[in-house]
Amino acid sequence: MKRVALLIFIGLIIYCAVSLGQEIYQWVDEKGTVHYTDDPGQIPEKYQDQVKKKKTPPEPAPSPSIRLPQDKTTPEPSVEKKDILGRGEDWWRNKAMEWRQKLIKAQKDYAAAETALKAKEKELEQSIYKPDSFKRRLQAEIKVLEEKANEQKKQVDDAKNMLEKVLPKQAEEYRADPSWVKIE
């Protein structure tokens, strides 16, 4: 039992020593997103020339408590706003656009299902003198179309809920600008 504990202890020491000596690679993509990896094989070829090697993860620098007056002739560089996960306006707008497209598609599908349902119901109303087997088939088709319309209505409601409630709440939680997910 002591040997097992000793082997585990030695293994942990070796693991810690190896992980502390491991290099971390950093690069910035064309969108300005900073990427880190410990595997140089994961770095895209077009960023190989700008990779920075680091021994340990960078410690956040303390923010200065005193601000020096700046030269008013030099404009301050604009910093792209990001949420707490580093996602910018483009990411949030794309997410909102994706849900807008889902809503539009669901609304079109719902309208088509409702139209088909009404047409079948009208056909059933006009089949007074048709055989009962024909009426039963129409009733079965109506039931299927009702289920389809209900499913499409649910998708419309889900997409509206996502756009009106869930996405804005997520943006708030991740401290993203709420205007990035507004429905226009």
Higher pLDDT, 155 or 45: 155
pTM of the model: 0.53
Determine how β-strand 24-28 pairs with β-strand 34-37: antiparallel
What are the tens digits of pLDDT across the range 83-99?
Answer: 788 888 888 888 888 88
44 DSSP assignment? -
Task: Tell me the pLDDT band of 61, cut-offs 50, 70 and 90.
Answer: low
Lowest model confidence (mean pLDDT) among 77-81, 127-131, 160-164:
77-81
Phi-psi region of 65 (alpha: psi -120 to 50; beta: other; left: phi over 0): alpha
Q: What is the pLDDT of residue 154?
A: 94
Gyration radius from the chain CA atoms: 30
Closest C-alpha to 138, from 151, 125, 152, 147: 125
Share of the chain above pLDDT 90, in %: 26
The predicted structure's pLDDT at residue 147:
94
132-161 helix and 89-125 helix, angle to the nearest 10 degrees: 160
Mean pLDDT of the region 33-49: 77
Q: Is the pLDDT of residue 5 over 80?
A: no
Report which of 94, 75, 91 is spatially closest to residue 83, judged by C-alpha positions. Answer: 91
Q: Quickly state the pLDDT bin for 62 (edges 50, 70, 90).
A: low
- Selected residue with higher pLDDT from 38 and 124: 124
Distance of CA 124 to the CA centre of its chain: 45
d(CA 86, CA 29): 13
Tens-place pLDDT, residues 130-147: 899 998 998 999 999 999
